[in-house]
Structure formats: structure tokens, C-alpha cells
Amino acid sequence: NVSPKPLSVVDGRVILDSVQALESNIYHTLDDIADRSNIFSGFHVPAIPALIKQDLVNWNTATLALGAGLIGSVP
């Protein structure tokens, strides 16, 4: 079993630049979901808002884990 090498400064910069490039799209998508939340409720399927909320919770959990993993890899 081989331990991964820590990220270099260059690796960190590439990752940070990539995440920052996605940031506005992520915020725009979250704003769209929030703006349309009443539409989801209007489907008369009670499970839909709960499914969307659970997906967002899962997305947040995965994002936090990714961030923690990246921070843990920095020398």
C-alpha cells in the first residue's frame, strides 16, 4: 500500500484555479434551485423537495470532504 505524495505548490495552484473557475457556475446553479423551489413544491409530489434537499446535503458533504482531503494533502 503506497501513501500518496503531498501536493506541490504548483498542484495546489492548478486545483485552486480549477475550483475558482467553477465557483460562479456553482453559485448560479444554487441560486436557480432556490429561485425555483416553489416550482418543485408545485409538482404535488411531496418527495421531490425532500429529494432535492437531500441531494444538496449530499453535495455539501462531498464538497467538505474534498476540501478536507485537499487541505490534508498540502505540505
How far apart are the C-alpha atoms of 70 and 54, rounded to whole Å? 24
- Helices and strands: H and E segment counts in the chain: 3, 0
pLDDT digit string, tens, across residues 26-41 = 889 889 988 888 887 7
pLDDT digit string, tens, across residues 5-58 = 777 888 888 888 888 888 889 889 889 988 888 887 777 787 888 888 899 899
pTM recorded for the entire structure: 0.63
